[in-house]
Amino acid sequence: MKSRRARPPDGGYGWVVVMSAFFIMGLTASVLKNFGLFFLDIQNHFGVPTSTTSWVTSTTIAMFHLGAPVASVLTLQFSQRVVIIVGGLLAASGMLLASLDLSLPWLYLTIGILQGLGISFSWIPANSMVSHYFVRWRPIAYAIASSGECVFAVVFSPFFQWLIEMYSWQGALLIIGGLQLNLCVCGALMRPLETVQETKDSLEGNTTVLPPKRKVIFQCSLMREPEFFLYILFAIFAAAGFFIPPLFLVPFASSLGMDKYWPASILSVLALADLAGRLICGWIANMRLWRNLQLLTMVVTLLGVVLLLLPISHNYWAIVVFASLYGFLFGCVVAIHITSIVDIVTLEGFDNGLGLFMLFRSIGGFIGPPAAGWLVDETNDYSTAFYLSGLCLISSAVFVVLVDRFVQKRKAAEAEGHQPNIQEDWEAGKVK
């Protein structure tokens, strides 16, 4: 007698899971992506340097990643549904308490820690559910789910700007916290896959369906695998560059003398390009024209180059062009960099692999924005933030190349290991 998880349906209720994940991405990642709209208001309100203000977002990013292993363990112990509901409550309470505007350290605690953990507890299980419900259509299913971040970002950019002008940044945070309570509804729709228990009667077609059985095992041993260790290094360098542009794009555009709504519209254009990148890259990945890691190497390198060139923009339309390229390539990276973990550690190790990936990625996410803020303070030039971001991303692409080589060597060794057995079986059959 043995138990196994039911075979992924590759459709059916899985599409409900995808749509629920779509809304979860929108209510978590797009809020974080649009936090640049609050940057100057908070900085002026407290009268602090750029680097000090950036610690609010940096703390959120760090907690988002540091909470990933905890979210993975809780998912294994309970279910994705329970963890997402808890995440929704944490995220909403973080925004609601932040609206009290007690002090800047208070924002570190509420937006940074509570909001960051809430995003982590919602985002990680949502990705896990999509991966468990799909095999053949996994790349496109994940691309659709993650596109929620882009669709909501298009709407949230002008909406948040309007909320800030109408109700101040404190009132805007209060309303956003109320919206994030909908994460609990999305979590309730996440139905765990059942576990099928096979008995001797299974040969006759009889199986017993049991409730999902959970076990708490967090496999840190994955770090011993060279390909996964190198992918962790990619995560650190990429994260250092990922979170800089959304934070500094609005201040950069404002420094050129643009009105408030023009920078906000740039974020909307960026989000639309991001959406196109996720869907197109997910479709290309599903066609298997290139290996996921090969495709990831190409788009990460191009993304770094675009960010190095972005500061040459000195008017609205030039910024829009580079922001569109950045958004498209960023979407391509997001569409495949999580699903690539399955190629490295297999589906059985995905939950643990994703937790470790996010944990170590927090290092880059925590250091990147403050480092960029320090450069801006020292040089009084927002361009330096984009130079740092581009260099980090190009450096990260080197590690993806090495990961791909290790994975291909492993697969080749596994194929050679099976080859003698196949040959022996064929010869045995021929003798008979």
Q: What is the pLDDT along the chain (432 residues), one digit of tens a residue?
A: 455 555 666 778 888 999 999 999 999 988 888 887 888 888 888 888 877 888 888 888 888 888 888 888 888 888 889 999 999 999 999 999 999 988 888 999 999 999 999 999 999 899 888 888 887 777 788 778 888 888 888 888 889 989 999 999 999 999 999 999 999 999 999 888 766 555 555 444 554 445 554 544 556 677 778 888 899 999 999 988 888 888 788 788 877 777 666 766 787 788 888 888 888 887 887 777 888 888 999 999 999 999 999 888 888 888 888 889 998 998 888 888 877 888 888 777 777 787 788 788 878 877 888 888 889 888 888 889 999 999 999 999 999 999 988 888 888 887 776 544 434 443 444 444
Do residues 42 and 53 touch, judged by C-beta distance below 8 A? Answer: yes
Sign of CA dihedral 273, 275, 280, 282: positive
Question: What are the structural domains, with CATH classification, of the chain?
Answer: 8-194+209-414 (1.20.1250.20)
Residues 6+ apart with CB under 8 A from 347: 131, 132, 135
- Separation between Cα atoms, residue 425 and residue 423, nearest integer Å: 5
The DSSP string of 80-146 is HHHHHHHHHHHHHHHHHHHTT---HHHHIIIIIIIIHHHHHHHHHHHHHHHHHH-STTHHHHHHHHH
Residues 6+ apart with CB under 8 A from 391: 241, 304, 308
Which one-letter amino acid corresponds to residue 44? N
* Predicted pLDDT of residue 50: 76
Q: Where are the beta strands (DSSP E) in 187-324?
A: 195-198, 207-210
Half-sphere exposure of 72 (CA within 13 A, CB side): 22
Residue matched to tokens 């990625």: 361
